[in-house]
Structure 1
Amino acid sequence: MQITPQARLDEYRSRGWWGKRTIDDLLKEAVSSCGDQLALVDPSNRVLLLGDEPQRLTFHEVDQSVDAMAKAFVSAGVGRDDVVLTQLPNIVEGVLAFLACARIGAILSPVAMAFRKHELTSVIKQLEPSLVLTVRDFHGCDHAKQMKELSDQGVYDGPVICVGEGEIFQSLESAQSAAVNVQLADPELHSGEVATICWTSGTEADPKGVPRHHAHWVFNGECMVEAAMLGEGDRILNPFPLINIAAFGGMVVPWLLCRGCLVQHHPFDLAIFLQQFQAEGINYTVAPPAILTMLLKKPELLNGIDFGQVKCIASGSAPLPPFMVKAWQEQYSVSIMNVFGSNEGCSLISTPVVVGDPEMRAALFPRFGVPGLEWEMDFPKRIRTRLVDLETGEDISGPGMPGELRIDGAMVFDGYWNNAELTAQAFDDQGYFKTGDLFEISTAEGGRFYQFVGRSKEIIIRGGVNISPAELDSLIESHPAVKEAACAAYPDDRLGERVCAVVVTQPDADIDLEILVDFLKSKEISVYKLPEKLIVVPSLPRNPLGKVLRRDLSEIASRD
């Protein structure tokens, strides 16, 4: 399925911005060149997660497993351009599903393990998937039962396959055994066809689907390989859930391009993470700013860990403390790479090559794609950025004036899945994606860098995961004791932000946090969205047009 306009595809190919290789091409190249090399490793605690032993697969074994899974998908009725919805933890099967879909020309759409029936209903209605691949049980949630209930309610009427135990639905092992004689046809894909639909939350209530094609992913991977200075055979530790650009573009595709080893980690457990880091000889990984800062304050946790083989560690999703980036470089000779991105394709990367000074790297991002500015790397040539004054709509070219970052180029998506209205709103008249993030041009280094100011959008980012306040507002307002509600972020040292519900109660009604959380749990929303603070106010702050002032809400939410 191609949704990219042919003119754009032709233009970017002629410029060399997009190539012709597909994801399956990358795998086949790796199998051909280093088939016996260890390639894909399960979380070491898989037995605690799913009850079976972790797998360690060579590229040949990955290829064979991809064939087996692809045959099971075809046997279940999946064909070219059909959608496979997955809800899997960071186990090898998540990577295999991505590769299996690529092999048969299907589209992978992964969702978070935290999604419950509320979110799944929205996604399924938008996608109409041909198959669901999930697990029986994970961290106390019976995912198979959840899918059975959605089937019984008429939300989904297709086949479901379960990794591991198949008590309610067919197990993956059984599905693969039954499909052993299926013949896989060459789908004759080209790189401009959709490979995935990932999901993002903005200020709208429903999740938004973000389609990306094979060439998108290959370029995204090439960016990270160059930025992180990765090379042939490098070993990557992936703590990101396999649901978004950070995991696929930042981890999985670089692994294929480097023909290295991808080590999976889930859920984030610092002790296991550090054990994997040392035992697997990791060259590259990512970690939240709060974790990197905490490790500096507890150096005993790093005793015995050899950082000599580390190319760099990426971080982001929250501003990086300059002292932290400097300390890692001075104390452990580890370069921290500052990454600012989104599923839609916004990507600013402050690399050790481009920004050598660690304190500057924590605060500044290169102004990629701005005429007259050159960089020592190749990938910035395929990215274009501009800063726009939201009041006047004019471009900002001088320092000190906040404006919205807008981005275009080979990494940017084509539009939201089956939503022309949101797509039209997401791009400006020059075709640049409107990120909703405020930057200004720094006075440092002759105006070569952006500096993050804040967000013009109203999303809450808890632990790097976007939460739509509008979705929570409407759910909370359905409680009989609540007259009005609006959610906002309040700062947290570990997660960056947490959710605070600010409510106006009905006359003579009372509500507390425990009651509200129990009510929201009954709506079967994701646990990470649950408010962790409740403030009752006489009225919500609004502007003269009646719009809730989220910035004022955040000030209220930040009160002790």
Structure 2
Amino acid sequence: MIHPEATSDKKPFAEPRINMEKRRDGSILLSSEIPLQDDYSCCVGEWLEHWAREAPERTWLAQRDADDQWQRISYGEAHRRVIAIATWLLTQDLSSERPVVILSDNSIEHALLMLATMHIGVPSSSISPGNSLMSKDHAKLKGNIELLRPGVIYADPIEKFQPALKAIADLHDATLVAGSSSASSSGTLPFADIEAHSDENAVMAAFAAITPETIAKFLFTSGSVNTPKAVPNTHRMMCSNQKAKELVWPMLAEEPPVLLDWLPWSHTFGGNHNFNLVLRWGGTLYLDDGKPTPALIEKTARNLREISPTLYFSVPRAYDMLVPLLRKDASLREVFFRRLKLVFYAAAALPHHLWTALEEMARETTGQEIMVVSSWGSTETAPICTDCHFNATRSGVIGVPIPGTSLKLVPSADKLEVRVKGPNIFSGYWKQPELSAKAFDEEGYYMIGDAVEFVDPERPEMGLLFDGRVGEDFKLLTGTWVHVGALRMAGLEAIAPVGQDIVVAGHDRDEIGFFIFPHPEECLRLCPDLPENASLETLVKRPEIIERVHQGLQALKADGGGTSTYPTRALLLSEPPSAEAGEITDKGYINQRMVLTRRAELVKALYADVPDERVITLNTQS
């Protein structure tokens, strides 16, 4: 159901009210006192149907065209095209056993095809383009295709994907559809051909058969270490998630949201949280062709000079690159903060210096405070399980359970492992029953693998802090646990602003070490005599940068807490993290284990009995 007038409450967020039950075994159950009504939509397609009737001329999506102009599509036009595409899909013998696979960056056609599949009860799977374009052996893509056995594969532009398509040719019998930006290609069907005819009666008959348990899409886990797992996302998972969002963010009903977003639809943050939020509330989504990389962040800045978002969603790495650009460009700041209601981060904790920088720039630019909020979840939870719908006391607060979702906090070593249950939680991995059985505990709670801690154990409404991945933590040879997530954040604050990210080393060692990915712009700011194009190789050797890291190492030790809470050595890396090698995900999150594995020789150098000149130690001379 759609209720655009769902609330008259003028407060932007609902007040957090939490039930807490402490069990004899030491576990704790947390849930929201706000009930999750059962009147949420049956399927995602209801939102498109609603806005195509109520606001047919309103822009739904916009993307840059070949002439660098914004190409827009309205809700009415989107609905017409979705019906036509769905008409063709009905002729292709598709099902959950033969879904549609999408190999493409975010685009209008990508969105239309995704919604067309959902309109007839057939799943689609947007697979990370990196699996096709950055891989040499296409091992992940082969695993994806073998698991799904698709009936249709869409690629755009198809010529870019030809090596990948050749690698998987023997693994499927799918019809290949070429996106409209493709050159002509034999053996493929042009996208224009699949929307040439329309049979709305047939499409709506299929639409009427959709239930909340119908699989809407398959999303793959990152597969950083093992073969990726396919997560069936049902309409119930996604629709209940957006209903919970409505209950804790009543401001969404006040005006249609406007987003500029780069987050890939092959991941749950961009493809479920952001995409669905815009569609649910009849908003407008501008597709950002920039990304948080040195080569593409300027495209994001260019787009933000034209588009004033009402909500801004991204990951900490992106804010780390965006903040220096905002700081030095008053016109960019003015457009960015003009209509902005809140800044939202997820996928990792936001370093405190970035949090305060965003708050200060918003205040200086508009005279108003800006909310900086977060949430927490995963591919398996569609995605949010907790939401910070209040003014947090510090960065890293992931909020409280959303309506309808229950958390179980289980003591594990000296942490609280968090497990989840609710209508937004998946029922198991696709065609992997053994992995599915291991994913849930005896009470049916999904064991997500993360840890949390209370901001204040006596006041659960103040929220939870993300306390790292249980699997990332390790013991030193002394037997003491190293909590990687917390130490990474402490390290970034201690060496600010020179570090863009930190990888924590020390497995099977007596001491902790840091690998530091430097922040080029901030390092240049500390070295004003260097040209703007100075290389990372030059920057990591500069005494100003080395001294800042040395001061940070000393500060962390001075904070006390023992050898598991501070590093004794660090190494500044002159090679950025490699997406192709799996060191960084599509969302900009560092894969700690992959960096340590790929850079094993540097680990040896970091821990050499006589460190070379690259290694900064607590004894390094200032």
Shift of 1:349: 4.3
SS in 1 for 2:155: strand
2:469 to 430, 451, 455: 455
Q: Name the structure 1 match of 2:265.
A: 242
Q: Name the structure 1 match of 2:42.
A: 21
Q: Within the alignment, does 1:74 sit opposite 2:101 as a pair?
A: no
Report the Cα distance in structure 2 between the residues aligned to 1:386 and 1:258, rounded to whole angstroms.
31
Paired letter, 1:339: S
2:421 to 408, 427, 431: 408
SS in 2 for 1:382: coil
Report the Cα distance in structure 2 between the residues aligned to 1:171 and 1:267, rounded to whole angstroms.
29
Report the Cα distance in structure 1 between the residues aligned to 2:394 and 2:193, rounded to whole angstroms.
49
Counterparts in 2 of 1:289 and 1:15: CA distance versus 1, 3 Å = closer
- Which ranges of structure 1 fall in alignment gaps of 5 or more residues? 1-13, 369-379, 392-400, 462-487, 496-512, 540-557
- Which ranges of structure 2 fall in alignment gaps of 5 or more residues? 1-34, 133-137, 363-368, 474-483, 486-512, 521-573, 605-613, 617-622
Report how many residues are paired: 446
Shift of 1:414: 1.1
Query: Which segments of structure 1 move beyond 6 Å, counting only runs of 4 or more?
Result: 525-530
Report the Cα distance in structure 2 between the residues aligned to 1:420 and 1:494, rounded to whole angstroms.
43
Report the Cα distance in structure 2 between the residues aligned to 1:191 and 1:94, rounded to whole angstroms.
23
Report the Cα distance in structure 1 between the residues aligned to 2:603 and 2:320, rounded to whole angstroms.
39
Report the Cα distance in structure 2 between the residues aligned to 1:527 and 1:26, rounded to whole angstroms.
27
For each residue in 1:40-74, what CA deviation from the matched residue of structure 2 results, as whole angstroms up to 9, or x when unmatched?
111x2x428xxx97530111111112122222323
Indicate if the aligned counterparts of 1:85 and 1:131 stay in contact, CA closer than 8 A. Answer: yes
SS in 2 for 1:285: strand
Report the Cα distance in structure 1 between the residues aligned to 2:298 and 2:330, rounded to whole angstroms.
10
For each residue in 1:430-460, what CA deviation from the matched residue of structure 2 results, as whole angstroms up to 9, or x when unmatched?
1111111122233476354322222112599
Q: Name the structure 2 match of 1:503.
A: none
Q: Name the structure 2 match of 1:7.
A: none
Q: Name the structure 2 match of 1:435.
A: 448
Shift of 1:348: 4.9
Q: Within the alignment, does 1:263 sit opposite 2:286 as a pair?
A: yes
1:317 to 323, 347, 360: 347
Report the Cα distance in structure 1 between the residues aligned to 2:224 and 2:72, rounded to whole angstroms.
41
Q: Within the alignment, does 1:89 sit opposite 2:98 as a pair?
A: no
Indicate if the aligned counterparts of 1:18 and 1:219 stay in contact, CA closer than 8 A. Answer: no
Q: Name the structure 1 match of 2:313.
A: 286
Paired letter, 1:243: S
Q: Between the two proteins, what is the percent identity of the paired residues?
A: 19
Report the Cα distance in structure 1 between the residues aligned to 2:95 and 2:602, rounded to whole angstroms.
54
SS in 2 for 1:389: strand
Q: Name the structure 2 match of 1:381.
A: 403
Q: Name the structure 2 match of 1:62.
A: 78
Shift of 1:366: 3.2
Counterparts in 2 of 1:491 and 1:425: CA distance versus 1, 3 Å = farther
Larger Rg: 2
Cα RMSD (Å)? 3.6
Indicate if the aligned counterparts of 1:81 and 1:106 stay in contact, CA closer than 8 A. Answer: no
Paired letter, 2:194: Q
Report the Cα distance in structure 2 between the residues aligned to 1:492 and 1:33, rounded to whole angstroms.
49
Counterparts in 2 of 1:15 and 1:217: CA distance versus 1, 3 Å = closer
Matches within 5 A, 1:80-479: 82-116=98-132, 117-137=138-158, 142-151=160-169, 154-164=170-180, 165=182, 166-176=184-194, 179=197, 184-185=202-203, 186-187=205-206, 188-202=209-223, 205-225=226-246, 227=248, 229-231=251-253, 232-268=255-291, 269-298=296-325, 299-303=327-331, 304-332=334-362, 333-345=369-381, 347-351=384-388, 353-354=389-390, 356-357=391-392, 360-368=393-401, 380-390=402-412, 401-443=414-456, 446-448=459-461, 449-458=463-472
TM-score by length of 2: 0.64
Shift of 1:109: 1.0
Indicate if the aligned counterparts of 1:325 and 1:335 stay in contact, CA closer than 8 A. Answer: no
Report the Cα distance in structure 2 between the residues aligned to 1:339 and 1:159, rounded to whole angstroms.
39
Counterparts in 2 of 1:494 and 1:75: CA distance versus 1, 3 Å = farther
Report the Cα distance in structure 2 between the residues aligned to 1:306 and 1:440, rounded to whole angstroms.
33
Q: Within the alignment, does 1:534 sit opposite 2:567 as a pair?
A: no
Matches within 5 A, 1:31-70: 31-42=52-63, 44=64, 46-47=65-66, 55-70=71-86
Indicate if the aligned counterparts of 2:309 and 2:336 stay in contact, CA closer than 8 A. Answer: no
Indicate if the aligned counterparts of 1:389 and 1:402 stay in contact, CA closer than 8 A. Answer: yes
Paired letter, 2:262: P
Report the Cα distance in structure 1 between the residues aligned to 2:199 and 2:223, rounded to whole angstroms.
44
Indicate if the aligned counterparts of 2:344 and 2:372 stay in contact, CA closer than 8 A. Answer: yes
